[in-house]
């Protein structure tokens, strides 16, 4: 096991694929099917252009990427695991303290397969959701970023397929096929999780998705990176290094939208940041609509964490398969036999916090960690508002707002967490969620801007180029 990646073979890897004939054959048989999927469901209309992409060449935290122009179908996808840690022991659950497993314990096979398939399914799903965004990119810089995110999500699929094919025999090979068969938003064969069947029709949605939904990915990967099944843990650790960039694209994308709107409000002397029409007259995304987009994406993403109180999550924790965020920094026995955790619940007509057994509230805790991380992002966006002296602040909706899964699935609440009757909700939801008119306004802004160094009117340029490239760098070579 090396930190350097072998690029001499068809499938770049650092898992010794050359010596594992059976696995290599399985992966090589899957590759053309993956490519079919990529060319039919990946970035639409841009497969023949050279894109300035980074490729992982090592799994060292330092200097693991190489940048260069490549056509996306020629991207060197592969199988990359973070290095094995000598003597690593299991950090939580029933098997705490035992050496990590290099093979799957028979009794956990089904549970582990399910965890891997669910994670794996999200990866191609987001590529499908984003496939039309190239056409309306606000700049070549942004176009390149969506493609970078897409090829990496493709590689994350490879990572999960590797685990399925190496450790799950024929079942695993079938699951690997199915991952290429389901389609985001398809009525008959949808992707497994709700948020991954929503459309990502515009760039505001894309930046919200990469801010919040890729951040769910971060927390799921962090929890799986704790796994007693070492190959899964190591795969997830490497995937997390790539996830950082996806969240960066999202956070800075929204920040640049906010900056541009503030700039225009100030230039035009618009005093009321809630004056939607005034902002729209100048072709920028008004702040109330940005808030509505936040509300929508956070709610849909919170559903991805599953029910706050969950037997499945308890079982996976107990089996030492899926841990908590930064397990090693938590000060408890890591087995949770007698611990409790405060979970928000509906009691009568109020939302109250109740202490419930910590083992059953693993999902609640992970989503709390997610919310804390999101709050840091909101701070950054609010700094931009403050820096421009704009009297408006963005906020996260309460976890009870617009939920379809878990404790709040059956109730309605305001973004501040006040419970509402169905009638009140029906009357007022337009105040908090993007309307059709809001969405079509956003869509109307989505005119491509492909001249190097230029940006659409509704978004500010980034602070710096990719890999230190100058402002007018041609990240995607559209001219032949």
To Fe ion, the closest distance from the beta carbon of 405 in angstroms equals: 21
Letters for 241-280 (x = contact with Fe ion by CB under 5 A, - = none) are --x--x----------------------------------
Q: Per CB under 5 A, which of residues 386..405 are in contact with Fe ion? A: none
In angstroms, rounded to a whole number, what is the distance separating the alpha carbons of residues 52 and 477? 9
Q: How far apart are the first and last CA of the chain?
A: 41
**346 strand-pairing partners:** 351
365 near Fe ion, rule: CB under 5 A: no
Tokens of 59: 């799994």
Letters for 302-341 (x = contact with Fe ion by CB under 5 A, - = none) are ----------------------------------------
Query: Judged by CB, which is closer to Fe ion: 92, or 209?
Result: 209
Query: Judged by CB, which is closer to Fe ion: 246, or 322?
Result: 246
Are 243 and 251 a contacting pair, CB within 8 Å? no
To Fe ion, the closest distance from the beta carbon of 287 in angstroms equals: 27
Q: How many residues does the chain have?
A: 480
Q: Give the binding range for Fe ion (CB under 5 A) out of 98-106, 145-153, 289-297, 395-403.
A: 145-153
> Which residue, among 153, 192, 198, 193, has the nearest Cα to 175 in the 3D structure?
192
Are 287 and 261 a contacting pair, CB within 8 Å? yes
To Fe ion, the closest distance from the beta carbon of 439 in angstroms equals: 23
- Sole binder of Fe ion in the list 128, 175, 202, 214 (CB under 5 A): 214
To Fe ion, the closest distance from the beta carbon of 268 in angstroms equals: 36
Query: Judged by CB, which is closer to Fe ion: 163, or 319?
Result: 163
Query: Judged by CB, which is closer to Fe ion: 24, or 156?
Result: 156
To Fe ion, the closest distance from the beta carbon of 246 in angstroms equals: 4
Query: Judged by CB, which is closer to Fe ion: 176, or 385?
Result: 176
* H or E element in which residue 68 lies: strand 65-71
In angstroms, rounded to a whole number, what is the distance separating the alpha carbons of residues 288 and 426? 19
Query: Judged by CB, which is closer to Fe ion: 194, or 283?
Result: 194
Query: Judged by CB, which is closer to Fe ion: 179, or 384?
Result: 179
Distances (CA, A) of 286 to 4, 301, 345: 47, 23, 34
> Which residue, among 334, 315, 319, 104, has the nearest Cα to 229 in the 3D structure?
104
Q: Would residue 93 be called left, alpha or beta, if left means φ above 0 and alpha means ψ between -120 and 50 degrees?
A: left
Burial (Cβ within 10 Å: 0-12, 13-18, ≥19) of residue 52: buried
Secondary structure class of 82 (helix, strand, coil): coil
Query: Judged by CB, which is closer to Fe ion: 95, or 215?
Result: 215
To Fe ion, the closest distance from the beta carbon of 367 in angstroms equals: 18
> Which residue, among 340, 356, 349, has the nearest Cα to 307 in the 3D structure?
356
In angstroms, rounded to a whole number, what is the distance separating the alpha carbons of residues 457 and 462? 13
> Which residue, among 417, 386, 309, 322, has the nearest Cα to 355 in the 3D structure?
309
Query: Judged by CB, which is closer to Fe ion: 246, or 293?
Result: 246
To Fe ion, the closest distance from the beta carbon of 99 in angstroms equals: 28
To Fe ion, the closest distance from the beta carbon of 418 in angstroms equals: 34
- Decide the pairing of beta strands 340-347 and 350-357: antiparallel
Query: Judged by CB, which is closer to Fe ion: 196, or 408?
Result: 196
To Fe ion, the closest distance from the beta carbon of 122 in angstroms equals: 7
Q: Per CB under 5 A, which of residues 152..171 are in contact with Fe ion? A: 153, 156
Burial (Cβ within 10 Å: 0-12, 13-18, ≥19) of residue 423: exposed
Q: Give the binding range for Fe ion (CB under 5 A) out of 75-83, 146-154, 187-195, 347-355.
A: 146-154
Q: Give the binding range for Fe ion (CB under 5 A) out of 41-49, 151-159, 368-376, 460-468.
A: 151-159
Q: Give the binding range for Fe ion (CB under 5 A) out of 173-181, 212-220, 395-403, 465-473.
A: 212-220
Q: Per CB under 5 A, which of residues 216..235 are in contact with Fe ion? A: 217
In angstroms, rounded to a whole number, what is the distance separating the alpha carbons of residues 154 and 74? 12
Query: Judged by CB, which is closer to Fe ion: 108, or 212?
Result: 212
Query: Judged by CB, which is closer to Fe ion: 232, or 343?
Result: 232
- How many residues of this chain interact with Fe ion, rule: CB under 5 A? 7
Query: Judged by CB, which is closer to Fe ion: 138, or 217?
Result: 217
Distances (CA, A) of 145 to 18, 219, 231, 366, 388: 32, 22, 29, 28, 27
Q: Give the binding range for Fe ion (CB under 5 A) out of 149-157, 302-310, 344-352, 371-379.
A: 149-157
Are 1 and 60 a contacting pair, CB within 8 Å? no
**Number of neighbouring beta carbons within 10 Å of residue 447:** 12
Letters for 101-140 (x = contact with Fe ion by CB under 5 A, - = none) are ----------------------x-----------------
Distances (CA, A) of 472 to 34, 239, 475, 476: 34, 30, 9, 11
Q: Give the binding range for Fe ion (CB under 5 A) out of 26-34, 98-106, 240-248, 260-268.
A: 240-248
Write out the residues near Fe ion by the rule CB under 5 A. 123, 153, 156, 214, 217, 243, 246
């Amino acid at each position: 096991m090396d930190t350097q990646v072998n690029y001499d073979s068809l499938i770049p890897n650092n898992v010794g694929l050359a010596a594992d004939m059976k696995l290599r054959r399985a992966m090589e048989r899957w590759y053309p099917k993956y490519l079919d999927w990529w060319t039919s469901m990946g970035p639409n209309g841009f497969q023949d252009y050279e894109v300035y992409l980074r490729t992982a060449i090592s799994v060292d935290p330092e200097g693991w990427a190489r940048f260069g122009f490549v056509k996306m179908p020629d991207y060197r996808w592969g199988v990359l695991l973070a290095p094995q840690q000598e003597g690593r022991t299991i950090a939580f659950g029933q098997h705490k303290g035992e050496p990590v497993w290099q093979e799957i314990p028979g009794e956990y096979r089904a549970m582990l397969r399910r965890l891997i398939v669910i994670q794996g399914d999200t990866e191609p799903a987001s590529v499908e959701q984003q496939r039309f965004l190239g056409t309306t990119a606000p700049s070549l810089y942004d176009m390149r970023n969506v493609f970078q995110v897409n090829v990496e999500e493709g590689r994350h699929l490879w990572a999960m397929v590797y685990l399925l094919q190496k450790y799950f025999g024929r079942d695993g090979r079938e699951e690997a096929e199915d991952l290429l068969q389901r389609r985001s938003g398809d009525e008959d064969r949808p992707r497994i999780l709700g948020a991954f069947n929503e459309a990502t029709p515009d760039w505001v949605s894309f930046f919200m998705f990469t801010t919040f939904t890729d951040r769910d990915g971060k927390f799921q990967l962090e929890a799986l990176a704790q796994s007693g099944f070492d190959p899964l843990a190591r795969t997830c650790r490497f995937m997390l290094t790539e996830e950082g960039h996806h969240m960066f694209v999202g956070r800075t994308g929204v920040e640049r939208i906010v900056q541009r709107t503030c700039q225009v409000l100030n230039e035009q002397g618009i005093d009321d940041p809630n004056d939607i029409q005034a902002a729209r007259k100048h072709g920028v995304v008004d702040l109330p609509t940005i808030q509505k987009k936040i509300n929508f994406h956070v709610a849909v993403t919170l559903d991805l964490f599953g029910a706050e109180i969950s037997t499945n999550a308890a079982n996976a924790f107990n089996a030492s398969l899926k841990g908590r965020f930064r397990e090693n920094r938590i000060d408890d026995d890591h087995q949770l036999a007698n611990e409790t955790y405060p979970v928000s619940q509906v009691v009568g007509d109020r939302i109250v916090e109740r202490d419930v057994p910590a083992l059953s509230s693993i999902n609640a805790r992970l989503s709390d960690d997610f919310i804390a991380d999101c709050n840091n992002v909101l701070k950054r966006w609010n700094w931009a508002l403050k820096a421009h002296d704009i009297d408006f602040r963005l906020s996260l909706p309460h976890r009870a707002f617009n939920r379809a899964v878990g404790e709040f699935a059956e109730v309605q609440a305001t973004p501040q967490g006040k419970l509402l009757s169905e009638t009140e909700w029906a009357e007022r939801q337009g105040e908090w969620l993007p309307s059709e008119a809001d969405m079509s306004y956003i869509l109307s802004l989505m005119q491509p801007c492909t001249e190097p160094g230029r940006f659409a009117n509704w978004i500010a340029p980034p602070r710096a180029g990719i890999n230190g490239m100058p402002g007018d760098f041609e990240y995607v070579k559209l001219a032949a």
